[in-house]
Amino acid sequence: MKELAAKINGQNSDSQSSVAQQSLSDGEDHLERLQQVELSRALPISVWKAATIHAWLDVVMAMPMYSRTCTDNVKSGKVLLGLTDEDLELGLGINNPLHRRKLRLAIEDYRQAEQNGQGLCKASEMDTHWVCKVWLGEVGLPQYGQAFQSQLVDGRTLGSLTRRDLENLLTVSDQQHQNSLLLAIQLLHILNFDREALQMRRSQCEEKSVDPLVWTTQRVIKWIRDIDLKEFADSLLNSGVHGALMVMDPSFNADSLAKTLGIPTHRHMLLRHLHEELNTPLSPLTEASSRRSVKSRAPPHTPPPTHTLPPTHTLPPTHTLLPTHTLPPTHTPPPTHTPQQRHTPQVP
C-alpha cells in the first residue's frame, strides 16, 4: 500500500509539474504575442515579420482563425501589402467576402499611414465589439448584433457597407432598417468616424433638445417621453429610429413616426400633438425639415473595388449639412410716395 501511495504521489507530482510548465509556456507565449502587437503599432507594415503578422491578425484584427495559415504563407509585411482578393481567397482560404474586405481595408489603411505618416484612420479605433455591442444599440437595432459579429464587422468595414451588403451578407431584409443603418453610417462619415467627437455632441444634447442629428434611439425615446407620449415610447425599442434617420431621411415625417410609435389613427388629437412637436419652431427637430434634402443629393453607397481599396480616412464626408432655410420675404406693394419696394421679413 505504501508503495502504491508513493507511486500515486509521484504521478500527481509529475502531473502538477507538467501543468505548471504548460502554464509557464502559455504565459510566455501570451507575453510574446503582446510584444508583437506593440510592434505592429509602432513599426511600418512594410517591415513586419511573420510573428508580428500572426499577432496582428490574432489580437488586433480579431481573426485568429486565419492567423496560422497566413503566417505559414506570408512571411513579411511587404508580401502582406501585395495580397489581392484572389490571394486571400485561394491562397489563404478566406472564403467570406466581408472577412476579405475587412483585411484589405485594414492593409490599405496601414499602407496609407506609412506613406503619409499621419497614422491610421479614426475608423480603426472602432473594433467589432464596439460595432456590435455599442453602435448597433445606439441606432436601435441590437437584434443584428449576431450577424455583424459573425461577419467581424469593424469600423472600416462598416464604412464600406452598401444596401446590397446589408441584405445579402448581414440578413437585414427590412428596408426601413436598411435605411436606418445606412444613415447611421452616413453620420459616421460626416464626423470622419471620430468617436470622441460623436460622444461629445451627444453628451451636450442629453439634457437639452438640441442637435437632433446625433441622437441615439435612447435619446429619441427620452424626447418622446418629454412631450408627454411616454405610453408609446417603448415602441421605439429595436425600431432603428435615431436622430440621423429623422433628420436625413426625406420620407420621415410625423405620420411615419406615429406609425412606429403605434398611435392609433383615430386618435386625431394625439397625432396633431406629435405633428406640432415635430414641426414647431420650438421643437429640436425643426432643423430636420431643411436638411432632409441632403440624402437625395448625396452619392449612393458603392462597394469598394476588388483589389485596390481607398483608405477609409481619406473619404470625404458623404453629406454636408445645410443651414436652416429662411422663407423669402413677403412681397408688399410699393407705397405711392416712393418707387422702391420694401420687404417685411418673416420668422420661419
Please give the pLDDT value at position 264. 95
Residue 291 to residue 320: CA distance in whole angstroms: 9
Please give the pLDDT value at position 209. 84
The residues, ordered by sequence, that sit 6+ positions from 242 with a Cβ below 8 Å of its Cβ are: 138, 139, 140, 180, 184, 215, 216, 217, 220
Residue 243 to residue 337: CA distance in whole angstroms: 52
* Residue carrying C-alpha cell 392609433: 264
Average pLDDT per consecutive 10 residues, the chain (348 residues; last block may be shorter): 58 56 58 86 93 93 92 92 95 96 97 93 96 98 97 98 98 97 98 96 90 94 94 96 94 93 95 86 43 44 44 41 41 45 40
Please give the pLDDT value at position 298. 44
Q: What is the dihedral of CA 172, 108, 186, 165, to 10 degrees?
A: -20
Identity (one letter) of the amino acid at 24?
L
Q: What is the dihedral of CA 218, 224, 229, 233, to 10 degrees?
A: -20
Q: Residue 104 has which C-alpha cell?
A: 484589405
Please give the pLDDT value at position 225. 95
Of the candidates 191, 192, 168, which has an alpha carbon nearest to the alpha carbon of residue 178? Answer: 168
The residues, ordered by sequence, that sit 6+ positions from 180 with a Cβ below 8 Å of its Cβ are: 139, 140, 141, 240, 241, 242, 245
Identity (one letter) of the amino acid at 35?
Q
The DSSP 8-state label assigned to residue 267 in this structure reads -
Please give the pLDDT value at position 210. 86
